[in-house]
Amino acid sequence: MHFYRPLRPLAALTFDLDDTLYDNRPVIKQTEHESVAFLQNYHPGLSHFQSADFHRLRQELREQDPEIYHDVTQWRWRAVHLALSRQGLRDAEASIGADAAMQNFALWRSRIDVPEATHATLRALGNVIRWWRSPMAMPIRPSAGWSNTSSLCCAPGQMAAPSRIRICINWRSKGWAWRQNKSCTSGMT
């Protein structure tokens, strides 16, 4: 890595771990397969539903609402809701089905196997970042066991943030809650 400007004090180090420190392609492939299977079994009218059908629904939603792609969780939920609605389910029934499909998606998406070397790298990086008195932030999968390696943990599906992301901030000098390795209950977004 080459730096062409002097480094200023870091405010925070942020990154997404998927495909940065581990290969998530097998997880994505399995999750998509299981998500389609869930829909095929959820309603008889979707017994022949395929991944391509899901992608067509997502494209249709994006044409109606070009900004939807910023919230991939909502985009996925709405695509499932649309698929169920088109099978004749009422709005409330389609919402229940979409919620169930999202729970299934989250279950499979969180089934990752992260090598110990990745955990060791994150712990070492976290120690360096703390020396600079800067937070390290990353979105996490709760099942991955990373909540103790970062000072800002963002876990999906646990807070009503824009894409249902839970945010916990751990940095004393900014006056935010000091909640290292604990759940964040202050409701910060």
Q: In this structure, which topology does domain 25-109 adopt according to CATH? A: Four Helix Bundle (Hemerythrin (Met), subunit A) (1.20.120)
Q: Please tell me the predicted confidence (pLDDT) of residue 131.
A: 58
The catalytic position among 16, 19, 65, 91 is 16
pLDDT in tens, 7-57: 776 666 666 666 677 778 898 999 999 999 999 999 999 999 999 999 999
> Does the structure show a pLDDT above 60 at 158?
no
User: Domain residue spans in the chain?
Assistant: 1-23+115-189, 25-109
Lowest mean pLDDT among 54-58, 129-133, 159-163: 159-163
65 is catalytic: no
Q: Please tell me the predicted confidence (pLDDT) of residue 92.
A: 98
What is the per-residue DSSP string for the chain?
---SSPPPPPS-EE---BTTTB--HHHHHHHHHHHHHHHHHH-GGGTT--HHHHHHHHHHHHHH-GGGGG-HHHHHHHHHHHHHHTTT--HHHHHHHHHHHHHHHHHHHT-----HHHHHHHHHHHHHHHHTT--EEEE--GGG--TTT-SEEEEETSS-STTSEEEEE--GGGT----TTS---S---
pTM more than 0.85: no
